[in-house]
Amino acid sequence: MRAADHLTLRPATPDDAGLLAAWDEEPHVIACVTDDPEATSASKGDDLSAELADQSDIFRYLIAEVDGRPIGAMLDIDPAREPYGYWAPIGDGFRALDIWIGEADALGRGYGTRMMTLALDACFARPEVQAVLIDPLTSNVDAHRFYRRLGFRPAERRLFNDENDCLVHRLDRADWAASRASVA
C-alpha cells in the first residue's frame, strides 16, 4: 500500500515569487478572484516581490508542499492591521485566510482540507482569536461547500474594492472545536 502524502505548510520567501506568479495565470485560480470572464491573470498588480520581502505576523504567504512539491498557497492575515485596509472597519480577535491550489492536478484530492486544518489550528492556537474570516466570491459555490464542511458559516455578502461580490464566511472558535475531529 502507498504511504500517505506528506503535506506541509511553510512560510513563503522572496524566491517563491515566480511560483506564485505562475499560479496566478491558472484558469481555476483566476476564476476564484474575479467574475470577469475576460480576465487573464489573478494578479491584481500588487507588488508580489515587495509583499514577499515584507512579511510579518500581520500579512504572510504560506506555501503548501506535498512530499516536497509546492502545490498551493495561503494568505494568513491580521485583518485589523493589514496595510491595505481591505477588511476595515474591523476590530481585534480575528484572522483572515485565503487559499488557492495552484497545480491543477492537485485539486480535489483533500489537500485543501488539510491545508485549512493546519492553518486553522495555528489561528486558534492564538488565544486572542475568536473567529477566522474568508471571502469567497458569491459565485464560487464549490468553495462555499468546501468552507462549510470545515464549519464556516455565511456571515455577510459584501462588495470588496468596489468590484468583488463576496460571500464572507466566518468560523468561530467553538465551531472549529466542534468540527475539528471530523476533518482531522
Ligand X SMILES: CC(C)(COP(=O)(O)OP(=O)(O)OC[C@H]1O[C@@H](n2cnc3c(N)ncnc32)[C@H](O)[C@@H]1OP(=O)(O)O)[C@@H](O)C(=O)NCCC(=O)NCCS
Exactly one of 47, 121, 142, 163 binds ligand X (CB under 6 A); which one? 142
Whole-angstrom distance, CA of residue 166 vs CA of residue 125: 27
Nearer to ligand X, 92 or 163 (CB): 163
Tell me: does residue 44 bind ligand X (CB under 6 A).
no
The answer to whether the CB of 74 falls within 8 A of the CB of 115 is yes
Among candidates 37, 54, 38, 58, which has minimal Cα distance to 46?
A: 54
CB of 11 to ligand X, least distance (A): 19
| Only segment of 2-10, 59-67, 76-84, 109-117 that touches ligand X (CB under 6 A) | 109-117
Report yes or no: 41 and 24 within 8 Å, Cβ to Cβ: yes
Q: Per CB under 6 A, does 113 bind ligand X?
A: yes
Q: Cβ-closest residue to ligand X?
A: 112
Provide CB contacts within 8 A for 75, sequence distance 6+: 59, 60, 61, 62, 96, 97, 98, 99
CB of 127 to ligand X, least distance (A): 26
Residues that bind ligand X (CB under 6 A): 28-29, 32, 99-101, 107-113, 134, 136, 140, 142-143, 145-146
